[in-house]
Structure 1
Amino acid sequence: MKIVIVDDDRLVSEALKTILEVNADVHIAAIGTDGREAVSLYRQYRPDVLLMDIRMKDMNGLEASAEILKEFPEANILLLTTFLDDEYIIKALKLGAKGYLLKQDYASILPALRAVDSGQTVFGHEIIAKIPDLLQKKVSLDYSAYEINEREQQIIRWIAEGLSNKEIAAKMFLSEGTVRNYLSQILDKLNLRDRTQVAVFYYQHK
């Protein structure tokens, strides 16, 4: 798993590098110190996951994420922050970041990287608890107008609750492949890019 780390605190980056590279399958391809460097390093190395701080000088992590995802919609970006800031969480969700963790939760970083690399979306427990309140409904939604059936609505709800494809498959007695197919259809019908945007969509129209 190839990782690029971007943080304006070099000591934090080096500590993360040391912690992560203890694992034989983890390779830190490069370390950056600001958002502009993050964009450049992503283009150069195309990492499996970009692990990036939010608060940085010049260009912050959210601005860098927006630029990277515009050019590389498939990019896996895991954001780290010291601050549980509501505005940051909302922006990260809407941008399509694959994860948002508190920096001090070091034990969760490697599992989160592996989960993001495998296609899952990861948010720290403190952040998951805040999401429903942050994304208040704006308008009621008639899912039938999008040709979303009841089974697909249930999948959308479970995605919003943070369940993986494997967990959804177990609940519905389906294969993971079938759930992936359902998810692809949902994304297509709602004109969304990924699971994170499905969760945002659900809470905005709940």
Structure 2
Amino acid sequence: MNIIIVDDDTLVTEALKTILESSGKVTVTATGSDGTDAVRLYKEFKPDILLTDIQMKEMSGLDATKEILSFDNTAKILLLTTFLDDEYIVTALKYGAKGYILKQDYTAIVPALEAVYSGQSVFGTEIISKLPELLNKKHEFDYSDYDINERELEVIKEIADGHSNKEIAADLYLSEGTVRNYLSSILDKLGLRDRTQLAIFYYKHI
């Protein structure tokens, strides 16, 4: 099988190339050092499998995976990383990667490539053990990303319940003026126009 290796550590790239080609089952047609190389080399060589690192400087392996699969949904991409990160695993699954294995497990790489080549999806044993938890996990919207504090979130929930400023003030022991200030700040942070949009936003992100 013909593969491309992309990793920002040239020593890792060369080591992988040597190990894989010594198996007699793999030909490394090209190597790259970041996600932009992965996209460019994939278009140029159309490999059977792209073997790519995740964390790289210019473009990540995940971003490259997403871009490649946007123009070739048959692409077989195997992600190779040192990071057993929940977010990476979920994103890899979402984007359609065929596998996610750890670099440390060198003996598993050739079998993983063979499995992906035959049409299977491959995840290392450490990752498989985490999948049930990750796939059943409810990912809550993180308001802190928008600099929304706990008090403001309480106001959002009150508005979503249809309460007026006067009712919110009574429930949260605030003045109506303070509630209006909170509402104005919340709308500005979330880029919304009015309390109706805010209520819709809240229920869409439960």
TM range (shorter): 0.5 to 0.7
Alignment of 1:113-152 (within 5 A): 113-136=113-136
Would you say how many aligned residue pairs link Structure 1 and Structure 2? 138
CA RMSD of aligned residues (A): 0.9
Deviations 1:120-152 (A, max 9, x none): 0000000001011111166xxxxxxxxxxxxxx
Q: Partner of 2:107 in structure 1?
A: 107
- Structure 1 stretches (4+) deviating beyond 3 angstroms? none
What is the TM-score of this pair, normalised by structure 1? Answer: 0.66
Q: For 1:3, what is the secondary structure of its paired residue?
A: strand
Which one-letter code corresponds to 1:13 in the other structure? T
* Structure number with larger C-alpha Rg: 2
Per mean C-alpha deviation after superposition, the further-off stretch among 16-25 and 44-53 is 16-25
Q: Partner of 1:14 in structure 2?
A: 14
Alignment of 1:167-178 (within 5 A): none
Q: Partner of 1:60 in structure 2?
A: 60
Q: Partner of 1:89 in structure 2?
A: 89
**Using the alignment, how far apart are the partners of 2:87 and 2:25 within structure 1?**
34
Matched-pair identity in % = 64
Q: For 2:70, what is the secondary structure of its paired residue?
A: helix
Higher RCO structure (Cα 8 Å, ≥6 apart):
1
Q: Which runs of 5+ in 1 are unaligned?
A: 139-206
Q: For 1:87, what is the secondary structure of its paired residue?
A: helix
- The structural deviation recorded for 1:58 is 1.2
**Using the alignment, how far apart are the partners of 2:107 and 2:95 within structure 1?**
25
Q: Partner of 2:165 in structure 1?
A: none
Q: Partner of 1:71 in structure 2?
A: 71
Q: Partner of 1:166 in structure 2?
A: none
- The structural deviation recorded for 1:23 is 2.4
Q: Which runs of 5+ in 2 are unaligned?
A: 139-206
**Using the alignment, how far apart are the partners of 1:137 and 1:125 within structure 2?**
19
Q: For 2:22, what is the secondary structure of its paired residue?
A: coil
